[in-house]
């Protein structure tokens, strides 16, 4: 009940309006006098959940008479309910009402909800979720993500106390993590103020039954390498009777030329498909890395026991007839589980279709699979049939590296495989098709790690809210489990596909094309209307049309019939031809504002475009092709796809996919910037008792940057830039808006009278080859000759090492003595001197 919940909250340092309960009118008066008016009276009864609805809340009581009347009135309304007493609490000042809750999700465990309270929560459902524990970044995102964020920022002309709110969210999260018996917790409302907050109502449900995950056996941290790259495989249940699954598995392994040893095990055969067969796996003399089990379910426990005895570490159980079939199967499955936990081996399946690893010529599928090309996509699918379907249908346009089917995932889960694929160099994009997430919290952790390195795209079935159980708290009712799925995916940086078509569209682009380095898109089309459709979707996807430099525009105009008006989308009209498109693209990719391209071509002429379009140097910028009604030109579409350019049937889909790539790339940058900032923070130093903080220069620093430039003397600027230099907003934009993959600008910052100020800036600019950087540094005049240049350079050289840079080059004018001295100090060698320029370089170990 409210007063008990508030007591627990108070004990955890959360501020509430109090938890006193009066059992008589006089006691209520005494409490009110002690608290000070105005006060609030509320019914306290285990039978009343929604107190206001039944008249159990009396607000703003300003004197003794009010309290007496309210007390009597409440009592008169609750004749049949059990009454514990009447709660007396301080009346909180008005503020912004929010709701904070915790519920427990079957797969992800404790989940935190935050949103605006009152009708915002009930009618507009303006709430957001995160799986716990939650990082500082996730907290910020959570607060910024709700639609009512603008109210938080500007409530009655004042911003609410965001840091107090964050502190509160952390306290609530910690409470839920520390006490697993708290099944649900809800503060509704919490009143947020420009300074601080107050929880005026609280509710908690406690459940002492241990949660399901507490019974799970903790996973050992070991690599699954031998499961995906075994040197020897035994197949229990191998046969040469055509049509049987044990035949198909053997046939697949042999015909795809599995490079390791194969041991068919079958007690009735001497040979299987020309290979010596063994009566039992125990008869195999050499060690066996992995075993595929395809015997009937009833015989599986014995087969698995033999494998364990043989010392096989990885088992792939492809037989069906386990937990998916009913009680008897469930029993066998749990026996097997106990067995493998005892023996310490890992098991994929049961009821799966094994693994395909094209980089290891290994096909374990139960369906016959013919030729496959090697590729960079990793696919994790629950159902073997789904994976097989994709493979048959899509192998013309998608190239897979590893396909893993997980079936009933009794042991090895989607998170385990995701973790492995994250480390496998052959895999560059990962797709997951899942019906349920059983690895919950671990999935969030692993996906969060992996998605920093490569894109992870998830298609999760069961988006609808069907089957939602009736629950008593808003938190639980608003947490239709799909909301929690979405939150968990967002939190871990995973891209969520809405359906199969969307998944394949994303996969084709992510696996074949580089990521865009900015939002500008050049669209080349043969018809204005498809260009408009692309444009609309670009802007909805947070992209925009590129603004080409005027000299490039002129050159493009010369490729067009002169009546056509040159702009982006470049409309070549129906007379468009491959050579013309090639010329336009080659001019367009030179623009600084073109970060990616969409080319819309006529379906009936697609054939003539394939070689031209796939032969162009796009300078590392992604290109997607759109052919309306491509379904009818599949032969040419396939040729184009196989040569690396994805083809979409609508410009909207092409634009949307580009938008997703851009979003991923931004997210990637954000993470990179964070990690570089952490590194720089550790390399910060003190000069003359002043703390000099190092951090990345970002777009938000434009004002500080302008101030910095203005603080430098013309001579200092000239020595650094070798030309007169002044700070205009355009130049500030160019110098501060930095792509962290191409360039790192390190700002040295001090705080002076409470204001931040930049005193030096150094840059590491990536050049060709990509493990070389160009180094430059400038120190403001008042800070020169205090070893700031040297300290900053030392930190930058550390950073370069951290980034695996091999060579640091620095070019300067010979009379820039301070810089030359710094470079000498770090043993830069002179590469060349030309007129008054000097080029020095340092090889890092």
* Residue 702 touches which member of Mg ion, ligand ADP, none, C-beta under 5-8 Å by kind: none
From the CB of 117, what's the least distance to Mg ion, in Å? 8
Tell me the window of 120-128, 195-203, 229-237, 397-405 that interacts with Mg ion (CB under 5 A).
195-203
Cα gap 145→483, rounded to integer Å? 14
Return the residue of 188, 353, 527, 541 that touches Mg ion, per CB under 5 A. 188
Classify residue 499 by its DSSP letter: S
State both tokens at 549. Answer: 């430099």
**C-alpha distances in Å from residue 107, one per residue of 102, 131, 262, 484, 825:** 15, 10, 38, 10, 57
User: 188 or 568: whose CB is closer to Mg ion?
Assistant: 188
From the CB of 433, what's the least distance to ligand ADP, in Å? 41
* Residue 200 touches which member of ligand ADP, Mg ion, none, C-beta under 5-8 Å by kind: ligand ADP
Contacts to ligand ADP from residues 589-628, by CB under 6 A:
none
From the CB of 39, what's the least distance to ligand ADP, in Å? 8
How many positions of this chain bind ligand ADP (CB under 6 A)?
A: 16
For residue 191, give the nearest of 406, 16, 403 by alpha carbon. 16
> Which alpha helices (H) appear in 542-617, and where do they start and end?
550-557, 578-588, 606-614
97 binds Mg ion (CB under 5 A): no
Cα gap 378→376, rounded to integer Å? 7
User: 98 or 822: whose CB is closer to Mg ion?
Assistant: 98
Residues 6 or more apart whose Cβ sits within 8 Å of residue 211: 104, 109, 180
* Residue 50 touches which member of ligand ADP, Mg ion, none, C-beta under 5-8 Å by kind: ligand ADP
Cα gap 415→403, rounded to integer Å? 14
Return the residue of 95, 110, 115, 189 that touches ligand ADP, per CB under 6 A. 189
Tell me the window of 172-180, 181-189, 494-502, 517-525 that interacts with Mg ion (CB under 5 A).
181-189
User: 200 or 308: whose CB is closer to ligand ADP?
Assistant: 200
For residue 612, give the nearest of 634, 638, 587, 583 by alpha carbon. 583
Q: Which residues are paired to 197 by β-bridges?
A: 192
How many positions of this chain bind Mg ion (CB under 5 A)?
A: 2
* Residue 91 touches which member of ligand ADP, Mg ion, none, C-beta under 5-8 Å by kind: ligand ADP
Return the residue of 97, 161, 201, 414 that touches Mg ion, per CB under 5 A. 201
Return the residue of 84, 91, 273, 616 that touches ligand ADP, per CB under 6 A. 91
Main-chain phi, psi angles of 261, to 5 degrees: -85, 145
x/- map, 201-220, ligand ADP, by CB under 6 A? x-------------------
From the CB of 516, what's the least distance to ligand ADP, in Å? 47
841 binds Mg ion (CB under 5 A): no
Main-chain phi, psi angles of 616, to 5 degrees: -85, 145
161 binds Mg ion (CB under 5 A): no
Contacts to ligand ADP from residues 9-68, by CB under 6 A:
17, 40, 42, 50-52, 57, 59
From the CB of 49, what's the least distance to Mg ion, in Å? 10
C-alpha R_g of the chain:
33
* Residue 821 touches which member of ligand ADP, Mg ion, none, C-beta under 5-8 Å by kind: none
Instruction: Answer positive or negative: Cα dihedral of 810, 813, 819, 825.
Output: positive
User: 43 or 234: whose CB is closer to ligand ADP?
Assistant: 43
From the CB of 330, what's the least distance to ligand ADP, in Å? 42
State both tokens at 37. Answer: 């008016």
Helix (H, G, I), strand (E, B) or coil at 497: coil
State both tokens at 28. Answer: 């209520």
CB 241 within 8 A of CB 247: yes
From the CB of 201, what's the least distance to ligand ADP, in Å? 3
DSSP string, 29-62: HHHHHHH-SSEEEEEE-TT-SSTTTTT-EEEEE-
User: 266 or 473: whose CB is closer to Mg ion?
Assistant: 473
Instruction: Answer positive or negative: Cα dihedral of 237, 244, 226, 108.
Output: negative
From the CB of 94, what's the least distance to ligand ADP, in Å? 8
For residue 112, count CB atoms less than 10 angstroms from its CB and return exposed for 0-12, middle for 13-18, buried for 19 or more.
Answer: buried
User: 45 or 525: whose CB is closer to Mg ion?
Assistant: 45
CB 180 within 8 A of CB 192: no
Return the residue of 200, 281, 336, 362 that touches ligand ADP, per CB under 6 A. 200
* Residue 481 touches which member of ligand ADP, Mg ion, none, C-beta under 5-8 Å by kind: none
Tell me the window of 4-12, 194-202, 283-291, 576-584 that interacts with Mg ion (CB under 5 A).
194-202
State both tokens at 359. Answer: 């980089």
* Chain contacts with ligand ADP (rule: CB under 6 A): 17, 40, 42, 50-52, 57, 59, 89-92, 97, 189, 200-201
* Chain contacts with Mg ion (rule: CB under 5 A): 188, 201
């Amino acid at each position: 009940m409210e007063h008990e919940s508030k007591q627990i909250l108070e004990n955890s340092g959360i501020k509430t309006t109090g938890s006193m309960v009066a059992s008589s009118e006089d006691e209520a008066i005494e409490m009110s006098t002690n608290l000070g008016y105005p006060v609030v009276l509320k019914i306290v009864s285990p039978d009343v959940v929604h107190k206001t609805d039944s008249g159990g809340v009396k607000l703003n009581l300003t004197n003794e008479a009010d309290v007496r009347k309210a007390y009597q009135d409440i009592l008169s309304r609750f004749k049949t309910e059990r009454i514990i007493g009447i709660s007396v609490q301080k009346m909180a000042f008005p503020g912004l009402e929010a709701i904070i809750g915790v519920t427990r999700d079957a797969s992800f465990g404790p989940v935190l909800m935050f949103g605006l309270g009152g009708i915002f929560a009930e009618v507009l459902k303006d709430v957001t979720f995160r799986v716990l524990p939650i990082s500082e970044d996730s907290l910020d995102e959570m607060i910024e993500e709700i639609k009512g964020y603008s109210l938080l920022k500007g409530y009655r002309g004042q911003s609410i106390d965001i840091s107090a709110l964050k502190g509160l969210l952390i306290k609530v999260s910690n409470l839920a993590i520390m006490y697993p018996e708290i099944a649900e917790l809800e503060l509704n409302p919490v009143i947020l103020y420009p300074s601080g907050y107050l929880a005026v109502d609280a509710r908690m449900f406690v459940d002492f039954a241990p949660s399901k995950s507490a019974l799970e056996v903790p996973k050992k941290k070991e690599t699954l390498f031998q499961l995906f790259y075994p040197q020897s495989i035994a197949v229990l249940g191998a046969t040469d009777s055509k049509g049987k699954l044990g035949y198909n598995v053997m046939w697949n392994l042999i015909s795809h030329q599995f490079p390791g040893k194969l041991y068919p095990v079958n007690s009735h055969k001497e040979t299987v498909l020309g290979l010596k067969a063994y009566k039992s796996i125990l008869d195999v003399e050499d060690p066996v890395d992995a075993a595929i089990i395809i015997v009937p379910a009833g015989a599986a426990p014995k087969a698995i026991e033999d494998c364990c005895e043989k010392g096989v570490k990885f088992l792939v159980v492809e037989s069906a007839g386990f937990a998916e079939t009913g009680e008897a199967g469930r029993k066998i499955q749990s026996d097997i589980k106990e067995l493998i936990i005892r023996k310490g081996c890992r098991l994929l399946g049961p009821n799966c279709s094994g693994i395909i690893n094209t980089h290891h010529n290994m096909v374990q599928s139960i369906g016959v699979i013919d030729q496959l090309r090697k590729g960079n996509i990793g696919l994790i699918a629950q159902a073997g049939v789904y994976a097989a379907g994709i493979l048959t249908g899509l192998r013309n346009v998608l190239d897979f590296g590893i396909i893993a089917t997980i079936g009933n995932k009794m042991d090895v889960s989607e998170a385990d495989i995701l973790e492995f694929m994250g480390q496998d160099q052959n895999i560059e994009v990962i797709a997951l098709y899942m019906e349920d997430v059983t690895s919950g919290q671990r999935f969030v952790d692993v996906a969060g790690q992996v998605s920093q390195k490569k894109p992870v795209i998830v298609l999760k079935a069961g988006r609808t809210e069907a089957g939602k159980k009736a629950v008593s708290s808003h938190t639980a009712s608003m947490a239709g489990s799909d909301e929690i799925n979405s939150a968990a995916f967002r939190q871990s940086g995973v891209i969520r596909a809405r359906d199969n078509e969307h998944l394949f569209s994303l996969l084709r682009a992510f696996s074949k094309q580089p990521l865009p380095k900015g939002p500008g898109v050049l669209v080349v089309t043969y018809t204005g209307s498809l260009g408009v459709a692309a444009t609309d979707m670009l802007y909805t996807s947070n992209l925009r049309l590129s603004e080409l430099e005027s000299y490039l525009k002129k050159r493009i105009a010369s490729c067009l019939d002169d009546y056509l008006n040159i702009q982006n989308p470049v409309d070549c009209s129906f007379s468009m031809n491959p050579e013309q498109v090639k010329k336009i693209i080659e001019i367009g990719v030179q623009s600084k504002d073109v970060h990616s391209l969409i080319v819309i071509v006529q379906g009936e002429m697609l054939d003539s475009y394939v070689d031209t379009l796939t032969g162009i140097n796009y300078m590392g910028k992604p290109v997607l092709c759109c052919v309306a009604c491509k379904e009818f030109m599949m032969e040419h579409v396939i040729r184009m796809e196989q040569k690396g350019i994805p083809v979409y049937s609508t410009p909207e889909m092409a634009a949307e996919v580009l938008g997703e790539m851009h979003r991923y790339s931004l997210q990637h940058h954000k993470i990179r910037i964070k990690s570089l900032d952490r590194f720089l923070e550790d390399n910060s130093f003190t000069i003359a008792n002043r703390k000099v903080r190092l951090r990345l220069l970002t777009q938000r620093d434009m004002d500080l940057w302008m101030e910095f430039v203005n603080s430098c003397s013309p001579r200092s600027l000239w020595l650094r830039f070798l030309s007169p230099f002044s700070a205009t907003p355009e130049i500030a934009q160019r110098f501060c808006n930095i792509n962290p993959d191409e360039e790192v600008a390190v700002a040295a910052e001090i705080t002076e009278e409470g204001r931040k100020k930049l005193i030096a800036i150094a840059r590491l600019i990536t050049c060709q080859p990509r493990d070389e950087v160009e180094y430059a540094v400038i120190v403001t005049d008042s800070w020169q000759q205090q070893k700031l240049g040297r300290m900053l350079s030392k930190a930058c050289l550390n950073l370069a090492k951290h980034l695996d840079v091999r060579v640091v080059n620095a070019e300067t004018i010979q009379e820039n003595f301070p810089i030359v001295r710094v470079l000498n100090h770090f043993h830069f060698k002179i590469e060349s001197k030309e007129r008054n320029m000097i080029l020095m370089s340092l090889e890092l170990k």
